[in-house]
């Protein structure tokens, strides 16, 4: 067992080393793309100072309509993604994102403004700088494009389905055999979620909530890991660090908590037994707020942790180019330090990937557990809850 863990550690280390080198290579390509072609008029060292780490990081963290892999401007290697727009007036529009030509042209009466698609008044105008925005139409334009994050989401959905349907098949085949392959990788985590998360936090009725907890756990875990993989389209997105994704996950936890809550739960919120009325006047609003606040914190925690991890990793890489602009030597010198730091951060992020999946699942389980908890007053449990709220 011990040896297996060792090889796993070694493999994951090599894995991180591999992808840090890869991402270094991709950024290098990006920086190279900067200098010569795009600004031929100003191909001086001063022009190279255009490298803007803030823009780079924001672009990576935020969603986008294409999959930018390497390079910049005309040289960029990017994968176009389908854009799907619907409005009552114009109906359904589906086309690829490269039609916008990085925001330089309009298409079908739409143009890219900043990171948003807006409707324009002039249907025939090709130059996006001349087309004027149709504010009224933009306001009720439904944009369900397959953006970078949606693409990553769909890919991770396929990975999850493939992974667990394969594992389920293995279980059906050899019911009482020892697990092997993917099954032996997944089973300890399933057991962990069941024994250490669900059983401990929910109690005897945990089985009903296992499918949700397992799905959430592996969804976050797999997407956190995919977010660490650079270059390959569909990976390296900041999906679990996107507020919309976190909102849906936390919203589902809230929904399940509310659906399954019992009288005991609400009694504790509106009139905590054993608390004098003057205190209740203060406590009850806090408790009511807590019902919504807990999932809200759940959302913010996941969003902030994953986003911060991506920002730090990219910031270390940006250091190379910031130093590189001072002098080439400093750039190479900084790259050594940056790679070391990024390897370290990558290892940290692997831990965080698991930890955040665990924390999200654990807190969801605790909230569900507190909603379905029956019977007598239990001070210890409340103390535990509020302690975990601080995590």
Partner 1 sequence: MELVQPAFGLLFWMIVTFSIIFFILKKFAWKPILNMIKEREHSIESALESAEQARKDMQDLQASNEKILAQARAERDALLKEARDTKEAIVNEAKAKAKTESDKLVAQARETINSEKLAAVAELKNQVATLSIDIAEKILKEHLSSDDKQKALMSNLMKEVNLN
Which residues sit opposite 96 in a β-bridge?
82
Helix then strand count (H, E) for the chain reads 13, 7
Yes or no: say if 296 and 363 are a contact pair by the CB < 8 Å rule.
no
Q: Tell me the per-residue interface mask from 263 to 302 with partner 1, x by CB under 8 A, - otherwise.
A: ----------------------------------------
* 161 contributes a contact to partner 1 by CB under 8 A: yes
Instruction: Give the interface segment with partner 1, choosing from 142-150, 322-330, 334-342, 352-360 (CB under 8 A).
Output: 142-150
Do residues 371 and 262 make contact, with C-beta atoms less than 8 angstroms apart? yes
Give the containing element (helix H, strand E) for 113. strand 110-113
C-beta closer to partner 1: residue 82 or 333: 82
The radius of gyration computed from the CA coordinates of the chain, to the nearest angstrom, equals 25
Under the binding rule (CB under 8 A), the answer on residue 24 touching partner 1 is no
Q: Per CB under 8 A, which region of 42-50, 207-215, 321-329, 362-370 contacts partner 1?
A: 207-215
Q: Which is nearer to partner 1, 62 or 283 (CB)?
A: 62
Distance CA 177, CA 134 (A): 64
214 binds partner 1 (CB under 8 A): yes
Of the residues 25, 130, 168, 326, which one makes contact with partner 1 according to CB under 8 A: 168
247 is a contact residue toward partner 1 (CB under 8 A): yes
Under the binding rule (CB under 8 A), the answer on residue 196 touching partner 1 is: no
Is residue 252 involved in binding partner 1 (CB under 8 A)?
Answer: yes
Applying CB under 8 A, among 88, 172, 380, 387 the residue interacting with partner 1 is 172
Q: Is 385 exposed, middle or buried (0-12, 13-18, 19+ CB in 10 A)?
A: middle
What is the chain's percent helix, strand, coil content, to nearest 5? Answer: 65, 10, 25
Nearer to partner 1, 30 or 220 (CB): 220
- The secondary structure of residue 275, as a DSSP letter, is -
Tokens of 103: 């925001």
Of 31-39, 61-69, 127-135, 227-235, the window that binds partner 1 (rule: CB under 8 A) is 61-69
Q: Give 241's contacts (C-beta < 8 A, 6+ positions apart).
A: 61, 227, 302, 303, 305, 306, 307, 309, 310
String of DSSP letters for 63-110: --SEEEEE--GGG-EEEE-EEEEEETTTEEEEEEGGGGTTTTB-BTTE
Nearer to partner 1, 178 or 281 (CB): 178
312 contributes a contact to partner 1 by CB under 8 A? no
Query: Of residues 167, 228, 306, 353, which one binds partner 1 by CB under 8 A?
Result: 167
Distances (CA, A) of 99 to 65, 82, 87, 290, 308: 11, 10, 19, 47, 33
145 interacts with partner 1 by CB under 8 A? yes
Given the complex with partner 1, which of 26 and 156 has the nearer CB atom? 156
What the block records as the tokens of 391 is 């995590």
CB nearer to partner 1: pick between 16 and 368: 368
Stretch that binds partner 1, among 27-35, 74-82, 172-180, 365-373 (CB under 8 A): 172-180
Measured from the CB of residue 281, what is the shortest distance to partner 1 in angstroms?
Answer: 33
Provide the minimum distance between the beta carbon of 335 and partner 1 in the complex, in angstroms, as a whole number. Answer: 28
Element containing residue 116 per DSSP (H, E) = strand 116-119
Residue in 20, 26, 87, 149 binding partner 1, rule: CB under 8 A: 149
Residue identified by tokens 């493999």 is 11
Q: 301 near 352, Cβ under 8 Å?
A: no
273 alpha carbon, distance to own chain's centre? 40
Q: Report the residue from 26, 97, 134, 242 that binds partner 1 according to the rule CB under 8 A.
A: 242
Nearer to partner 1, 86 or 266 (CB): 86
By C-alpha distance, which of 109, 117, 122, 47 is closest to 82?
117
Residue ranges that bind partner 1, judged by CB under 8 A: 58, 61-63, 84, 115, 142-147, 149-150, 153-154, 157, 160-161, 164-165, 167-168, 171-172, 175-176, 187, 190-191, 194, 207, 210-212, 214-215, 219, 242-245, 247-249, 252, 303, 307
């Amino acid at each position: 067992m011990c040896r297996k863990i060792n090889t796993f550690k070694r493999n994951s280390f090599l894995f991180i080393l591999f992808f840090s080198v890869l991402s270094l290579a991709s950024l290098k390509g990006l920086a190279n793309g900067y200098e010569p072609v795009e600004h031929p008029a100003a191909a001086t060292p001063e022009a190279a100072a255009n490298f803007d780490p803030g823009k780079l990081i924001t672009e990576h963290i935020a969603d986008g309509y294409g999959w930018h892999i390497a390079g910049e401007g005309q040289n960029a290697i990017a994968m176009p993604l389908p854009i799907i727009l619907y409005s009552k007036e114009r109906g359904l529009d589906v086309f690829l994102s490269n039609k916008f030509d990085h925001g330089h042209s309009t298409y079908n009466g739409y143009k890219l403004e900043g990171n948003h698609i807006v409707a324009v008044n002039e249907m025939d105008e090709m130059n996006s700088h001349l087309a004027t925005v149709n504010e009224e139409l933009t306001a009720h334009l439904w944009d369900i494009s397959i953006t970078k994050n949606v693409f990553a989401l769909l890919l991770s959905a396929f990975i999850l389905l493939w992974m667990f349907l394969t594992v389920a098949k293995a279980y059906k085949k050899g019911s009482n055999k020892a697990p092997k392959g993917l099954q032996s990788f997944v089973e300890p985590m399933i057991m962990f979620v069941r024994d250490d998360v669900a059983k401990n936090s929910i109690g005897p009725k945990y089985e009903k909530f296992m499918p949700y907890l397992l799905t959430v756990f592996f969804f976050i875990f797999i997407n956190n890991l995919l977010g660490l993989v650079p270059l390959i389209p569909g990976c390296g997105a900041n999906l679990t660090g996107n507020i919309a994704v976190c909102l849906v996950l936390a919203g589902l936890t809230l929904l399940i908590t509310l659906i399954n809550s019992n009288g005991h739960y609400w009694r504790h919120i509106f009139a905590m037994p054993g608390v004098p009325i003057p205190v209740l006047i203060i406590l009850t609003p806090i408790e009511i707020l807590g019902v919504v606040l807990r999932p809200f914190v759940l959302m913010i925690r996941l969003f902030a942790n994953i986003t911060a991890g991506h920002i730090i990793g990219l910031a270390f890489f940006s250091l190379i180019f910031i130093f590189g602009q001072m002098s080439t030597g400093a750039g190479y010198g900084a790259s050594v330090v940056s790679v070391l730091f990024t390897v370290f951060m990558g290892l940290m992020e692997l831990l965080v990937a698991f930890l955040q999946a665990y924390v999200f699942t654990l807190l969801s389980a605790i909230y569900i557990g507190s909603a379905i908890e029956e019977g007598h007053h239990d001070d210890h449990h409340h103390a535990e809850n509020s302690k975990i709220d601080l995590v």
